[in-house]
Structures are given as C-alpha cells and as structure tokens.
Amino acid sequence: IKSYLNIPALMQICRDHGVDAIHPGYGFMSENPELARACEENGITFVGPTIDTLEQLGDKTSARKIAKAADVPVLSGTDDAITDVSAGRKQANALGYPIILKAAHGGGGRGMRVVRSEDEFDSSFEQASREALTAFGSGDVFVEKFIENARHIEVQLLGDTHGNLVHLWERDCSVQRRHQKVIEIAPAPNLDPKVRQALCDSAIKIGKQVNYRNAGTVEFLVDADTNEFFFIEVNPRIQVEHTVTEEVTGVDVVKSQIMVAQGLQLSDEEIGLGDQDAIKTIGFAMQCRITTEDPSSNFLPDYGRVMHYRSAGGAGVRLDAGSAFSGAVVNPYYDSMLVKLSVRGRRFSDAIQRSKRCLMEFRIRGVKTNIPFLLQVLDHP
C-alpha cells in the first residue's frame, strides 16, 4: 500500500513523464489534501475538490460542524477527535450504548468499530485507532451514536468552478459487511419521496456551505423505524459505486470530473447538465462488488493466480474489471475487489434477476470469491 501513499515518488513520476493532471480515483490518496497541494506546487491539475474542501470535509469531525452550520441533522457524538481512551470512554458513557467509533480521516470502512458496552470500549478504541493510523496516517477517532436499524443512503454531488452545484439523486448502500459496501442500488428502492427530496436538498446545502467543486458524495443514515435521517460524512471524491448513478442518470461522472477540472461549466455542451429539474433517473441499477474473499472461511482474503476467468455479459450489463482476467495475479497487499458488476433494468426486480443471472455465469478459477455470498443476499432482497 505504501507505494501508493508516497507523494514525492508520485510527483517524480509525473515530472519524468510530463504528466499535467492526476485523477486520484477512489483510493486512499483521493481525499488527501497533501496530494492536491503537491499537485498545485508542481503545476499539475488535481481532478477533485479544492485543497480547502479536502481539509474541511476529509476530517469527519470538521464535516459534522459544517453539516450543523448548514442546518442538517447529525447524529449525537463528539465534535472533536479523541486520542485518549479514557476521554473516549467517558463520552461513550454519556451518549449511551451502542456507539460507533470512526476514524476522523479517510473512509472505506477502515478504523470503525461498533461498541455495545463499556467493557468492549478500550479494546475497540485501540483497534480502531491502530487501523486508522495504518490506513490514513492518523489514529484520531471520534464517537457517534449507533442506530441499529438504519438504511445507508448517499447523494451524488457534482459542482463546477463557476458556483454551479447539482445532485444526481441517491444510492442505497445498506448491504455492507464489516462496514464495507457490498451491493449498491440507484435509486434507493422503497424510499419515501419526501425523505428522498429532503436528503438531496440537505446534500446541496452542505455542498454550498463549502462551495463544493467536482464530484463528491454526502452520506446519511435513515432510521428505518422513524424515517428520520442524519448526516454522517462527505466523501470528497468519486465513489466505487458511481457506476449505478451513471446507469440511471446517463451522466458520465468521471468525464464530468475531468471537464470541470478544465474549467467548463456544468451547462456546457461537453457536460450537458443544466437545470436541476432536468436531471432524472430511469429504471434501477445495481452494483455487486466481486472480491477475492472466501465466504466459507469467514471471508478470509484469498490471493494467487487467476487460472481461468470468464465474465458475464448481455444487455444492461457493465463490468469494471481492471485486474480480472486469466493469468492475473492477485496479491495480498491491496484491496480484494476483483471486478465490479453493474446491471440496470426497468424495474428493481429486473435488476435483481439480471444480477443473479450474471453472478451465476461468472467462471473464476484459482482464487476464491464472494459470489456465493452475493447470490445468497440477492435471494432475500
């Protein structure tokens, strides 16, 4: 992982090869303001938010304060990062269990632990802080109230350098394992239209609070029992699951990012986004993350050579498969995602059936995958 976190080495590569722009993707560096600052100092365009925005929103405790200032509801929790376990325990006791510990910097489910009693707090705090330090270079964590029965809904934002900001509607990312998203759906099925509109309006409020530029995602929890929603964080970058938004809106989010970085307005022909009311969704899209993990061994990551790879296909099927091919070597040092399967259909049920058909058509030999688990989930939507 460290090879991707070495900013001076990245800048040297750019200088050696005449690189004039960097799209940071959705990895650890995509939210790192130091990479954006290094790009600016070396005359390289950073395809993403401004340095100030990355600093404001990349720190999740700062993002909570921004949401409050925008009059968006947030979960009860600590306003500042906690580095001392005894102080954290005191805050958790005041909030009442269950609580969740979260890394103040970074994302992707790293540095997160649900704590259900005071007896679990100290060890969970140390584990979360250690994981956050390894993944993001900071062991800072904060405490937040945990909602047991919640839907994880996120809103895609896109802004330009001219002050224009729109949302591309929402995604449901509630199917998770170890705080890692597994299946994502756009738009969120069976969501109250009033809640949907309130979520999108709240995301725009937060974006305007920081003059948001480029692509980003505002994430919320919706209490399934009360329909109340709460802001949890902003990912100031493209998301792994942006594909489902592209499939239902027809908007190429990555292309739009690059066009915005070149100074174009959202309404310009190359992007083609004008009035918010003109942005609609058609049908449903679903993404399944196929990973090299063994469901029969507690999802132990697997690695080795992919001896045989055959993917699914057909109408309404999209594959993002950078490392999925016969002969590919999966090593233990990086994320276990092998390929993203995205499908679309006129109805939610169509998307489910198409996803199941595609998953059953995959033939992957040499490494174990989570396909059996995904099929099991889709059998009980």
How far is residue 80's CA from residue 162's CA, in Å, rounded to a whole number? 32
Residue of 64, 110, 151, 237 marked catalytic: 237
Active site residue 15: no
Q: Tell me if 249 sits within 8 A of 280, measured CB to CB.
A: yes
Count of beta carbons in the 10 Å neighbourhood of residue 371: 19
Instruction: Tell me the sheet residues that pair with 113.
Output: 101
How far is residue 246's CA from residue 169's CA, in Å, rounded to a whole number? 11
- Give catalytic residues, as residue numbers: 237
